[in-house]
Structure 1
């Protein structure tokens, strides 16, 4: 079972092993949302299912009923706020079942974006109680460089399965919980956005510039080496320990702009052997939506 990363060689062996598995292509572009699926149609690992960040891995911003109110059922209520609210675990399980993913399968997720978007599905499957999920190290670029075949166009439809979510294997933190522990040793915030956004010098996506007070900054791309692969575990450990400067790794709560690009930091810490850390999925986009919450610049 692969639970963090899987190499191209290991994926090739898995494909020929006869064991049940499913590959997901999570390629996306925040500025051009339609381009991810277009790239998937141009080239993807044979058999891969396309997982769209906006429609499969995010919930609608409230599901209006016929009278204009918001549906209050657990299945219809997003599990987080922000620009990319998490769907409920019930809704996520429904989508997994619709594409034929079942509980006995190994999941392999990849993108063309330095694990920025496939990390979302990696984390969501853990959150749904499914541990057998790994990110393809180096993404589609590494697969093609290793001589792996690609397919074009749509894949044949999968049979409906019956995926059942279980006990969450990763911790989801709300804005209220972040606010409650703000400034306390029990919580160490790590923000994965680019330094200029973290400092509040620019903000292309959200209405307020800045960051949550006390947060540390580690842009998600720092987990990836010049070869396009995750950095070695020892190097990641040294970098995170330097950033934490004695703080307890178990106290870490990761976030970013909308809970997506924070995941490479979550994954990086696990590869480094620093254990599991929490995710504030609503992230800065949810935090700054309430003017009563404090923020900092610089």
Structure 2
């Protein structure tokens, strides 16, 4: 999948001007913790950008009743239904944000909207809430009744699911050395030295380690497109994975920012791979 010539990021100042313009835009606050399902909503209630709604990694960006790793993708119809409840239209702009430079879980939301559902106008707030607070500074608080859908549902074109942006474990097992596998976890998790979340440590044979935080500058904003182009490996048949399919989307976003062909997502990622003990595992570098 190739990207068109456009920016997938929006700076805090650009975002502030967009909000002030009165143009229709859905603002989705995707703050999350991989291990604490209550974190995102709690911090949204403490303070958030006016007009934003909370988009839950654990219940909207994933459906844990389905198989496929720690954060299985929901059924497309259910995701569209949840988007409608949040006032998201396929014809109007969307801005997604979190408090981790897009890694938790704004990039996941971007991937699901842009790569999976074909929404053409989705941007990630560059630097997230940290950049917003340091540049604009204004946050508001709301009661729980307004957290999950304070925008009117808008009509618009039908959503178009593009499952070719996805692969599963069977595809990886079948293609083997024909693939470039990018692992978005930290190096200590990649090597198996430290595994805090999954029952088996290590990585998929043939994978290379590309931690998602390597896409960011020290201030949490994305590296320049040219620098990313110099750093990111490119070859046919690229697959992005991580522990549960969240940070992997950040690596795909980095390719988009760089203007490079996009890897496909192994949504189940390592947590799905090790659910079958017969699958091969490698430790070390």
Structure 1 counterpart of 2:23: 19
Distance 1:235 1:44 in 2: 32
CA contact (8 A) 2:48 2:139 kept: yes
Q: Secondary structure at the match of 1:208?
A: coil
Match of 1:157 among 139, 142, 150: 150
Match of 1:272 among 258, 271, 284: 258
Distance 2:95 2:80 in 1: 17
Structure 2 counterpart of 1:147: 136
Structure 1 counterpart of 2:85: 98
User: Please, which runs of 5 or more residues in structure 2 have no aligned partner?
Assistant: none
Structure 2 counterpart of 1:286: 272
Match of 2:211 among 219, 222, 226: 219
Match of 2:127 among 128, 135, 138: 138
Q: How high is the TM-score relative to the length of structure 2? A: 0.91
Matched, 1:123 2:116: no
Structure 2 counterpart of 1:72: none
Structure 2 counterpart of 1:175: 169
Q: Secondary structure at the match of 1:269?
A: helix
Structure 2 counterpart of 1:257: 243
CA contact (8 A) 2:31 2:98 kept: yes
Matched, 1:195 2:187: yes
1:148: Cα distance to partner? 4.1
CA contact (8 A) 2:217 2:223 kept: yes
CA contact (8 A) 1:23 1:107 kept: yes
Answer with 270-279 or 1-10: which moved more: 1-10
The number of residues matched between the two structures is: 273
1:193: Cα distance to partner? 0.5
User: Equivalences for 1:20-59 in 2 at 5 Å?
Assistant: 20-59=24-63
Q: How high is the TM-score relative to the length of structure 1? A: 0.87
Off by >3 Å, runs of 4+ in structure 1: 160-164
Structure 1 counterpart of 2:221: 229
